[in-house]
Structure 1
């Protein structure tokens, strides 16, 4: 394992953590959207 191998490992690690972070952010956005959009739709329906 030379410097190239270390760089490749670091690249893979950053890519994996980036994907995990993106997935977590997406899940958070989905939950926030569900909690904000559904009540407004219900209130509009009641009106």
Structure 2
């Protein structure tokens, strides 16, 4: 069963677009730990999966 209460955002794992995407998320106040080698990262302060 899927959890329809969380927003899912796709982004590249590495590269220039990834860096820009991380900066945008940080500027929006979304706290995410993307340093681990996981496929999906959960935001710490919002119902968002990256």
Q: TM class, shorter-chain normalised?
A: 0.3 to 0.5
Q: Considering fraction of residues, name the structure with more strand.
A: 2
RCO comparison, higher one (Cα < 8 Å, 6+): 2
Q: Bigger radius of gyration, 1 or 2?
A: 1
- TM-score with structure 2 length normalisation? 0.30
Q: Considering fraction of residues, name the structure with more helix.
A: 1
- TM-score with structure 1 length normalisation? 0.32
